[in-house]
Amino acid sequence: MNDTGLYDPAPRAVVIHDLVDRSRRRLDGMPDGALTPVLEDALYQERKRLADHGGSHEEHILLDDLARTLVRGDRYLRIEAALRLVAHWADEVHGHFDNRMYRFSTHLLPRAVNGLLAGRPKRMRDIRGGWDRRLRVEGDTSLLQQLSREATLILAPTHVSNLDSPLIGLALYQAGLPPFVYGAGLNLFKNPVMGFFMSRLGAYTVDRTKRASLYKEVLKDYSVRSLTTRHHSLFFPGGTRSRSGEIESNLKKGLLGTGITAWQEMLAAKRKDSEVYVVPLTLSFQLTLEADTLATDHLAEAGKQRFIITDDEFAKPKEVLAFGRRVLDLEASCIAHFGEPLDCLGNPVSKDSAVRRDQAEHRRNYVCDRDGNVIVDAQRDRVYTDRLATALAQAYPRGSYVMETHLVAWVAWRCLTRQIGSDDPFRVIRVPRLGRIVRDNDFHSTLRAAMDELAALAEKGSCQLAIPNDPDRVLATALDRFGRYHRTRAVAREGRDLIVEDPKLALYYRNRLAWASLEA
């Protein structure tokens, strides 16, 4: 292993060959009745994508080749044509992790991020310190450091903003953890500078416009290969940024399932370092850079999420800088909470090393026969992955920090829905301005009741609190934060009372507490 905790990446051709070989074994094992629909789906989905988004000349040639074999080719020629497409995808997906670039960036990143957070510092020492106060890292990082040396980790964060990736990188560095490989949308690589650094800091490309099942299997194979070569990996189980602002509860299980596959491959190879652990990471932000665009998209789609927003605030450098200087400059403006590690079956991992060894021996019985040979059972593994996804969804609220903006938006929205007699968001956002005024006494009584409920939940370990025990300070802080960045404020003062100035934004920040089912 190298000094970052990862094995040195294999030459590019070796990785691509391995991914093609995995696809070959899968396709070879399919009967004709299953193989043909998979290849037809790849041809249809890719031609549709090229018609909608354009593509390279090479892609057109590959698809024409696949089409010809489907019409008049035999089984061997069809598979070979499909594998040429797989090789093209594999080359696109594979990153360019660079140890020298990583070492350079770990020295540069804290200063660069702090420069973003603090704007234009007057003194160099203002750049050198302070970023660790703005990004608070919580959780048992000592345990995670130990686990990263003896096993392979999957970090499974909530997904709030496109700023998550650099901030998670900073949180890993602050926690003393090695680098993680992670998938990033192909659209983020279109910026040549960002693409250069992202690919060399562990990012591999995910083209969310590619819908073919064959492509999705390539991504899963890449994940399995990364894990079996001891590359710690990062997945966003929610799949995309939360449009509604809620903490993810319905998780995508495709990449999560690669953890149990990699674990079993390493067990089959009789490796001593076969364990794969999953670490939930809950991100909490006072404000979200893209909140306006995300909330608009959520309401416009009425639950039908678009996977990609290509033109949001993150794509505008001036907006990112403004957000950094006005919002992220605050103390603890974002909190990263590393939760209790889980095994691939969704069970907690012990802090005691001796107990962990016993757990590992016992866990093998779930997938191996009496002689220690791995039994392949896809249906069984899907059940285990479902259990893991459920455990993650339950862990996220426990690591979520209630912040002033979340709580004030929740209370204002609650008061407003009581006034109009409906909690239908589409009806609420159409209420005229004068109908969105909330009386101060009603707001404060609801706020106090909500704070009592949240304190009880925090006492049980159901969530974390990052608010003072003073309703007036909570309100004052939230109003200050809401006025720092967005063009319109979620909640603002209207004389002695309050007004839900932008119901769309209020709903977005209110939804952060949707999991709590508060009765206030």
pLDDT value at 446 more than 80: yes
What's the pLDDT score for residue 166? Answer: 79
Least confident residue range of 150-159, 328-337, 347-356, 481-490 = 328-337
Tokens of 502: 């932008």
Contact 152, 258 (CB under 8 A): no
Rounded-to-10 torsion of CA 170, 332, 316, 162: 50
Give the end-to-end CA distance of the chain in Å, rounded to a whole number: 54
What's the pLDDT score for residue 99? Answer: 64
pLDDT band at 162 (very low <50, low <70, confident <90, very high): confident
Tokens of 180: 């993680």
Residue with tokens 């209630």: 402
Tokens of 68: 């010809």
DSSP state of 82: H
Q: What is the mean pLDDT of residues 6-12?
A: 59
Give 383-444 as a DSSP string. HHHHHHHHHHHHHHHHHPEE-HHHHHHHHHHHHHHHHHT---HHHHTTS-GGGGEE-HHHHH
Contact 1, 7 (CB under 8 A): yes
Residue among 344, 294, 8, 288 nearest 151 (CA): 344
Residue with tokens 């094992």: 29
Residue 407 identity (one-letter amino acid): L
> What proportion of the chain, given as a percentage, has pLDDT over 90?
68
Tokens of 42: 């790849």
Higher pLDDT, 305 or 210: 210
What's the pLDDT score for residue 240? Answer: 86
Tell me the per-residue pLDDT of 172-211, one tens digit each, with 9 for 90 and over.
Answer: 989 999 988 888 777 666 666 666 666 666 778 888 899 9
What's the pLDDT score for residue 123? Answer: 45
pLDDT band at 320 (very low <50, low <70, confident <90, very high): low
What's the pLDDT score for residue 169? Answer: 85
Residue among 276, 297, 471, 271 nearest 359 (CA): 276
Contact 27, 76 (CB under 8 A): no
pLDDT value at 497 more than 80: yes
What's the pLDDT score for residue 194? Answer: 62
Output 4-12 pairs: Cβ under 8 A, ≥24 positions apart: 4/99, 4/102, 4/103, 4/178, 4/179, 5/148, 5/149, 5/178, 5/179, 5/232, 6/97, 6/178, 6/179, 6/230, 6/231, 6/232, 7/229, 7/230, 7/231, 8/99, 9/97, 10/229, 12/91, 12/94
pLDDT value at 1 more than 60: no
What's the pLDDT score for residue 302? Answer: 56
> For the whole model, what pTM was predicted?
0.86
Tokens of 132: 């660790």
Higher pLDDT, 108 or 368: 368
Q: Under 8 Å CB-to-CB from 452, ≥6 apart: which residues?
A: 520
Contact 198, 349 (CB under 8 A): no
Residue 1 identity (one-letter amino acid): M
Provide the phi-psi class of 495: left if phi over 0, else alpha when psi is between -120 and 50, else beta. left
Higher pLDDT, 333 or 95: 333
Handedness of CA 468, 474, 476, 477 (dihedral sign): positive
Contact 216, 239 (CB under 8 A): no
pLDDT value at 7 more than 70: no
> What proportion of the chain, given as a percentage, has pLDDT over 70?
82
pLDDT band at 328 (very low <50, low <70, confident <90, very high): low
pLDDT value at 415 more than 70: yes
Rounded to whole angstroms, how far apart are CA atoms 22 and 279?
A: 27
Contact 273, 151 (CB under 8 A): yes
Tokens of 33: 């009745």
Tell me the per-residue pLDDT of 370-393, one tens digit each, with 9 for 90 and over.
Answer: 999 999 999 999 999 999 999 999
What's the pLDDT score for residue 121? Answer: 45
pLDDT value at 312 more than 70: no
Mean residue pLDDT of the chain comes to 87
pLDDT band at 107 (very low <50, low <70, confident <90, very high): low
Q: What is the mean pLDDT of residues 362-373?
A: 95
pLDDT value at 311 more than 90: no
What's the pLDDT score for residue 122? Answer: 43
Rounded to whole angstroms, how far apart are CA atoms 375 and 386?
A: 19
Residue 81 CA, distance from chain mean position:
34
What's the pLDDT score for residue 332? Answer: 59
Q: What is the mean pLDDT of residues 47-64?
A: 95
Residue 187 half-sphere exposure toward CB, CA atoms < 13 A: 13
Rg from Cα positions in the chain: 25
DSSP state of 124: H
pLDDT value at 159 more than 90: yes
Neighbours of 190 (CB within 10 A): 11
What's the pLDDT score for residue 27? Answer: 97
Tell me the per-residue pLDDT of 244-276, one tens digit each, with 9 for 90 and over.
Answer: 999 999 999 989 999 999 999 999 999 999 999
Higher pLDDT, 61 or 486: 61
pLDDT band at 437 (very low <50, low <70, confident <90, very high): very high
Q: What is the pairing mode between strands 342-343 and 276-285?
A: antiparallel
